[in-house]
Structure 1
Amino acid sequence: MVTRYGIVGTGARAGMYIEALTGDFAEHGELVAWADPNPGRLDVHEARLGDGPGPARFDHTKIAGAVREHRLDRVIVTALDRVHADAVVAVLEGGADAVVEKPLTIDEAGVRAISEAVERTGRDVVVTFNYRYSPRNAALRQLIASGEIGAVTSLHFEWLLDTAHGADYFRRWHREKVNSGGLLVHKSSHHFDLVNWWLGAAPTRVFASGGLRFYGTALERGPRPERGTTDDPARDAFSLDLRTVPAYRELYLEQEHHDGYRRDQDVFTEGITIEDNLSLVVDYTGHSTMSYSLNAHAPWEGYTVGVNGTLGRAELTVVERGSVTVDGDGHVVVDPSARPDLVADDRQRPVSERLVVQKHFEPAREVPIPEGTGGHGGGDATMLGDLFAGGSPRSGGHDPLGRAASWRDGVRSVAVGIAGNRSLLTGQAVRVADLGFPWPNDGL
């Protein structure tokens, strides 16, 4: 039987799911209905689908009724982070299962609302953590689980966002913490989920330090244009011209008249309430500790992970984009490995990746990483196959690495960011148990 799907939120991120349901996985799922507060974006996606009637449109504020009316089995939520909790609850109340882009939600109230709805309705919630499906991250998971480096005592995780991708969070709605929870929730929930998954553990205490030190008005920049899509001579390499990126031009620039949303705000203006430099110390069940660093204005993009165990150490080094440069005309040039139509996104093949293990009193050896294809280090394609065609135990398949993520995994990932945001405000370490929401540690 073909699963009947709905989608809430049809911005750029929704494209991956729309393409999957109308392409490779059409025999497994049917896109029946969709909603977006901006009708122009629905127009764009309908035009891309070609001739014939498109999915039915429904009011994004009346999700539960739409689930019942269109007899939806699952609804994919790719709307603004701040509405994830309300949308997921409405989907469950309507009688369908929810598939939600990370983060699950942005605050304690959202966690409580979702957990109560799951218990009340008995419905299922899947969080799409595509980085779990990347071969390099799976290889590290296997290495740790094998016991080769012994019990994990500590882990260091540094993530660098470059001046194309990293800057983009300061142009769009993510720049306001009320919308996204800041990078600790929106972006870092990816990273915190990986650590929870690698260790098979849950965070117990978080101390955070950081601030807005590069973007916004942190530094004196002189006159700036209000937006990147302009011929103002003050625009520079940090300006995103929506006219030059077809997907952004269609979905955002040409739809501004509907809601006034600007996808290309200048990154050096007032009104930014998220941080661009962050450092955390996180304690976990099992008595291990992580030191974590995030920088959103690096010249290259990627991450390094060092895992220390009682028998040795594992190191994973990934360069996702080697450089962001500017040509003679002042135009941004990203590394050739990146997709040219997504210069401000993170869906590109890695420039390099290397996993090394070294046990005490032994030489280091490199661990082979299977080649991945597609975005997020080869994770997107595999995740979509799991999500739509089945492959995890939830779908009746075989998933020895436990890659399919439930709402409980979503809670454990955002718990670090939510506690981190509280720590930034108070200057104190925050115990996750004190956040005041149900704490799902079962299954660990």
Structure 2
Amino acid sequence: MRKKYVLIGTGGRAEFFYGAMVEDYRDTCELVAFCDINQTRMDYSNQLLEEKYDHPKIATYLASEFETMIKTEKPDIVIVTTVDRTHHTYIVKALELGCDVITEKPMTVDAEKTQEIIDAINRTGREVRVTFNYRYAPHNTKIRELIRDGVIGDVYSVNFEWALDTQHGADYFRRWHRNKNNSGGLLVHKSTHHFDLVNFWLDTTPETVYATGGLRFYGRENAEARGETKFYQRAHGSEYAKDDPFAIQLEENDHLKALYLDAEQEDGYQRDQSVFGDGIDIEDTLGVMVTYKNKAILTYSLNAYLPWEGFIVTFNGSKGRIEVQVREQSYINSGGSKSDEGKLKEKSVKVLPMFGEPYEVEIVEGKGGHGGGDPLLLEDLFGTPSEDEFNRAASHIDGATSILTGIAGNMSLKTGQAVKVDGLVKF
């Protein structure tokens, strides 16, 4: 028997889910409705269903009609892909109306909203799944396997550097993510993936977090300090933006134009704001130190303006060291093909035994984004999941423990003090 789904939030991440359901999982999934604050965007999503996926149009509801949609359509599962700050609103309402939930990461953006979700799950007995596709990438699963099997013994410290390049990194400063109340900043919106990986790799949870950083490259003040004086607030219609390598031209991409530019008249959202404009209040340069409950320590950095995209991570243990370097395909969210997102260009996983010769670990990739990880996640969500020795399916507990590292980091940025994670929420 097929399960019924509705999806709220038809922006850039939505098609990853609804495209899979109507293309590969028609036997197990019935997509019955879209919900959004923007009718134009829902109409375009319906157009894609018809023209791209040969699927009939489905019902549409404005966000103010969310409860009406649930009562009318009677879905089993609600998929939440809205702006991060509203995730908790729809998660809690869906749970209370008797639905399970699949939510995009991050689950939410602060401790209070996290507590609301936890309380609603405990109150209703319903389930929330968080879509951490990085767990399923073959190289990340292999790292978990090596550590689990004691290849380098007990892990005492991790050094983790994540690099966003001037295409992908800049995109967070053009969109709604540029405001911390919307996204929680990159420590929550982006780093939730990375903090979840450390929890997953080490099979532990964070205890204490200290963070430092700021807006160093993007933003008007930084551009002025470097002597740059040609400013604009958005790319569309700007002569200055035509020569700016940091600008995105929505009208030159049919998909972006239909999804955002043509939909502006309804909600005023501008997808192409200048990364050197006013109003940015998130950080682009971040350093974090985390102590975990198993006494391991993490030193983590994220920079959002580099000429290279990917990550370098090293694990130091009682029997040796693991060195990992992964270079990823840069992308513009919803501006390229699904198959290009998270495409791996280079990867290396090397084990250095304490007494013995270093060796490369073979990684077998599959088809699809993130080295074949995305299709595995989708099969877990919409297909018939097989038994998984690595327990990659992420619960609300996993969603919470990953974002709480970033939330504690945001608190530390404000106070200059280390923050204890345990006191932030009650499970």
Gaps of 5+ in 2: none
Give 1:186 shift.
Answer: 0.2
Distance between the aligned counterparts of 2:378 and 2:88, measured in 1? 22
Match of 1:325 in 2: none
Aligned residues of 2:223 and 2:229 also touching (Cα < 8 A): no
CA contact (8 A) 2:217 2:223 kept: yes
AA paired with 1:408?
I
Matched residue type, 1:419: A
Matched position secondary structure for 2:25 = coil
Matched residue of 1:314: which SS? strand
Please give the alpha-carbon distance, in whole angstroms, between the structure 1 residues aligned to 2:291 and 2:340.
28
1:347 is aligned to 2:341: yes
Cα gap change, 1:339 to 1:431, in 2 (>3 Å) = closer
The separation in 2 between residues aligned to 1:345 and 1:20, in whole angstroms, is: 12
The aligned residue for residue 89 of structure 1 is 92
* Residue number in structure 2 paired with 1:329: none
Counterparts of 1:143 and 1:426 in 2: how far apart (Å)?
37
- SS of the counterpart of 2:23? coil
> Which residue of structure 2 lines up, in the alignment, with residue 406 of structure 1?
395
Separation in 2, partners of 1:427, 1:280: 12
> Which blocks of at least 5 consecutive residues in structure 1 are unaligned?
323-333, 392-396, 440-444
Alignment of 1:269-284 (within 5 A): 269-284=277-292
RMSD of aligned C-alpha atoms? 1.9
Q: By how many angstroms is 1:340 displaced? A: 11
Distance 1:53 1:342, change over 3 A: closer
The answer to whether the 8 Å contact 2:174/2:275 transfers is: yes
Change (3 A) 1:246 1:119: same
Deviation of residue 175 (structure 1)? 0.1
**Which one of 393, 396, 407 corresponds to residue 418 of structure 1?**
407
Question: Following superposition of structure 1 onto structure 2, how do residues 201-220 of structure 1 map, counting pairs within 5 Å?
Answer: 201-217=204-220, 218-220=222-224
Amino acid at match of 1:172: R
Are residue 178 (structure 1) and residue 166 (structure 2) matched?
Answer: no
Contact kept in structure 1, 2:339 and 2:368, CA below 8 Å: no
Which residue of structure 2 aligns with residue 360 of structure 1?
A: 354
Question: Shift of residue 225 of structure 1?
Answer: 2.3
For 1:256 and 1:244, the matched residues in 2 are separated by: 16
1:126 pairs, out of 117, 126, 129, with 129
Contact kept, 8 Å, 1:223 with 1:234, in 2: the verdict is no
Residues 1:340 and 1:79: Cα distance change in structure 2 (over 3 Å): closer
Tell me if structure 2 keeps the 8 A contact 1:165–1:344: no
Q: 2:130, 2:68 → 1: CA distance? A: 23
Q: Percent identity?
A: 46
Matched, 1:151 2:140: no
Taking structure 2 as the reference length, the TM-score comes to: 0.95
Is 1:227 aligned with 2:234? yes
* One-letter amino acid matched to 1:219: A
Q: How does 1:254-293 map to 2 (within 5 A)?
A: 254-293=262-301
* Matching residue's letter, 1:116: D
Whether 1:312 aligns to 2:320 is yes
- Tell me by how many angstroms 1:21 deviates: 1.2
Q: Give the deviation of 1:65 after TM superposition.
A: 3.8
Partners of 1:3 and 1:96 lie apart in 2 by: 11
> How far apart, CA to CA, are the structure 1 residues paired with 2:417 and 2:276?
29
Alignment match, 1:135: 138
CA 413–202 in structure 1, closer or farther in 2 if over 3 Å, else same? same
Q: TM-score, normalising length from structure 1?
A: 0.91
In structure 1, what is the Cα distance between the partners aligned to 2:82 and 2:334? Answer: 25
Cα shift readout 1:34-56 (whole Å, capped 9, x = no counterpart): 10101011110111122775221
Question: Residue deviations 1:71-91, cap 9 Å, x none?
Answer: 100010000000001110011
Q: Which residue of 1 aligns with 2:14?
A: 14
Structure 2 match to 1:331: none
Deviations 1:293-333 (A, max 9, x none): 000000110001101111001111101138xxxxxxxxxxx
Q: Is the 8 A contact 2:256 2:335 kept in 1?
A: no
**8 Å contact 2:329–2:341 — kept in the other structure?**
no
Quote the residue 1:438 is aligned against. Answer: 426
1:229-254 deviation per Cα after TM superposition (whole angstroms, max 9, x unaligned)? 23504541001000122211110011
Task: From 108, 113, 116, give the equivalent of 1:110.
Answer: 113
- Residue equivalent to 2:196: 193
Check if 1:44 corresponds to 2:44.
yes
Residue 383 of structure 1 corresponds to which residue in structure 2?
Answer: 377
Cα distance, 1:18 vs. partner? Answer: 1.3
Structure 2 counterpart SS, 1:61 = helix
1:164-214 Cα deviation digits (max 9, x unpaired): 000000000000000000000000000000000000000000000000000
- 1:343 offset after TM fit, Å? 9.0
Which one-letter code corresponds to 2:161 in the other structure?
A: E
**Match of 2:374, SS?**
helix
Among 229, 234, 237, the alignment partner of 2:245 is 237
Aligned residue pairs: how many? 419
* d(CA) in 2 for partners of 1:178, 1:339: 20
Aligned to 2:31: 31
Deviations 1:385-444 (A, max 9, x none): 1110031xxxxx301111000000000000000000000000000000232x114xxxxx
